[in-house]
Amino acid sequence: MKSPLFAVLVAGCAPSPADSDVGETDPNPTVEVTAETFGCITDMEPVRNYYATNLLGNIAETLEVAEDPSGKRFPAGTLIQLVPMEAMVKREAGFAAETDDWEFFFLSYSDGQTTIETRGADATNSFGDNCASCHAAVSDTRDWTCEDGNGCVDLNLTPEVIQALQQNDARCDE
Ligand code: HEC
């Protein structure tokens, strides 16, 4: 394959816009999310009741905001889960203004395969409740992360029940 430099040379004195990008990293990379993105919940980093990671490798900033969620914004790539079949991912900037770029997911798992049942601002959980409408209660104060007692409608799950659900994620046995 010919080098980009060669392409610039044969193109003459006026480099195309694409040539000026050579060597630069994308400041707003797309956060790709497929069913394969989701694995064993306890392989992620524990944060109080939930687990978190960063799909773009920026785990340090994700954990920094998680430690002090009062109004700070999670970085793109943040993946957070409380229970194995529900997840929220901070997508690239500009993905969805109505959810501050969070994408919500309701998953299922069988025969070694994760399936994305619903995703986005319209995603609903197993009770048919809309994820975003509950989490919106703390959109400004905690960048959409509810945790217990911050104004989201209560899930009525004790920390013990949450832990049991996490420890029984079938994907952890794969
Ligand atoms: C009835 C309101 C409600 C609905 C509907 C709801 N959540 Fe939550 N969610 C909560 C509350 C409250 C917590 C905190 C629970 C705790 O830590 O005890 C929570 C916790 C979470 C967490 C861990 C981080 C945090 O916000 O504390 C994630 C991730 C999450 N929910 C994703 C989802 C997804 C995805 C859906 C839809 C499939 C969903 N939720 C539907 C209320 C809701």
What distance in angstroms lies between residue 140's CA and the mean position of ligand 1's atoms?
A: 16
Q: For residues 136-162, give the mean pLDDT.
A: 96
Q: Residue 3: pLDDT above 50?
A: no
Q: How confident is the model at residue 21 (pLDDT cuts 50, 70, 90)?
A: low
pLDDT reported for residue 14: 46
Q: Which atom of ligand 1 is nearest to the CA of 129?
A: 5
Q: Residue 148: pLDDT above 60?
A: yes
Give the sign of the dihedral formed by CA 149, CA 84, CA 79, CA 126: negative
Mean predicted lDDT score pLDDT of the chain:
90
Q: Which of 55, 135, 138, 143 to mutate to test the pocket of ligand 1 (most atoms within 8 A of CB)?
A: 135
The lowest-confidence range among 45-49, 51-55, 126-130 is 126-130
Q: Residue 121: pLDDT above 70?
A: yes
Q: Which of 117, 152, 161, 162 to mutate to test the pocket of ligand 1 (most atoms within 8 A of CB)?
A: 152
* pLDDT tens digits, 98-114: 999 999 999 999 999 99
User: Would you say 92 and 28 are in contact if contact means Cβ atoms under 8 Å apart?
Assistant: yes
Ligand 1 binding residues, C-beta < 6 A: 49-50, 80-82, 86-88, 104-106, 123, 125, 129, 131, 134-135, 145-148, 152-155, 157
Best CA proximity match to 33, nearest among 89, 74, 80, 96: 89
In this structure, the chain runs to a length of 174
* pLDDT tens digits, 56-97: 999 999 999 999 988 899 999 999 999 999 999 999 999 999
pLDDT reported for residue 167: 97
pLDDT reported for residue 98: 96
Q: Which two structure tokens, joined as six digits, stand for 94?
A: 């500009």
Residues 6+ apart with CB under 8 A from 135: 88, 102, 104, 144, 145, 146, 152
Q: Residue 7: pLDDT above 60?
A: no
125: region left, alpha or beta (phi > 0 left; psi from -120 to 50 alpha): beta
Distance of CA 89 to the CA centre of its chain: 2
What distance in angstroms lies between residue 84's CA and the mean position of ligand 1's atoms?
A: 12
